[in-house]
Amino acid sequence: MIPVPSGVRVWLAVGHTDMRRGMNSLAIQVQQLLKRDPHAGDLYVFRGKRGQLIKILWHDGIGMSLYAKRLERGRFIWPSPADGTVAITAAQLAYMLEGIDWRNPVLSWRPQAAGAEVLSAYEAAQEARKSTADCYQAGVAAWRRVHPDQIHTYAAQRAVAVILSAKIRGWMMKATAVVTIAIVVTMLSPYG
């Protein structure tokens, strides 16, 4: 992974670049075609014609660095050649380096939704006065509805973990309240 400092600007050189170019010729391209200073500390990203290879030019204040990344499958998403450069964030560059569409990254897993479903199902089963095993089974079924692609044993483990962590949080809050009350009573007591 490239050590991208926070706050650095990332520029994509739109269009196709000859990937046989090295550090010096890419720095000249930044100066002449993009009208920018390659020694300013910004990152300049270039993509080849096939879209499987990118090169990143970066001057870190000490020296010039040239990074290359090739995707084994797929292509790097690249803007249309309307302008000379496009600015993106460091987070978008990280998505790009992983082969993810940096323009619209999509989360594929949301544990908060599954956790809420599990706790709702568990509490509903408790209110219906079902056995403890049936309450846990309701939580597992809720997890499976949210994540149907996971195997049953993993879903059961995750659902039980969500339920137990919620129970532990509840117990800790009750214990904290009891300790707080004890401290207040001790402070207000004439014998304390």
pLDDT at 182: 64
| 66 and 142 co-located in one domain | no
**176 shares its domain with 140:** yes
**Does one domain contain both 115 and 48?**
no
- Provide the number of structural domains found in the chain: 2
Among 39, 62, 97, give the residue marking a domain's end. Answer: 97
Residues 119 and 184 in one domain: yes
Q: pLDDT (tens digit, 9 = 90+) per residue, 77-95?
A: 888 766 678 888 888 888 8
pLDDT tens digits, 13-54? 888 889 999 999 999 999 988 888 999 889 999 998 888 899
Phi, psi of 156 (to 5 degrees): -65, -45
Between 16 and 155, the higher pLDDT residue: 16
Which structural domain, as residue segments, surrounds residue 59?
10-97
B/e letters for 6-24, b = 16+ CB within 10 Å, e = fewer, are eeeebbbbbbebebebeee
Interior CA angle at 70 toward 64 and 74, to 5°? 145
Alpha carbons 137 and 163: distance in angstroms, whole number: 11
Res 107 pLDDT > 60 = no
The verdict on 73 and 115 lying in the same domain is no
pTM value is 0.54
Same domain, 33 and 62: yes
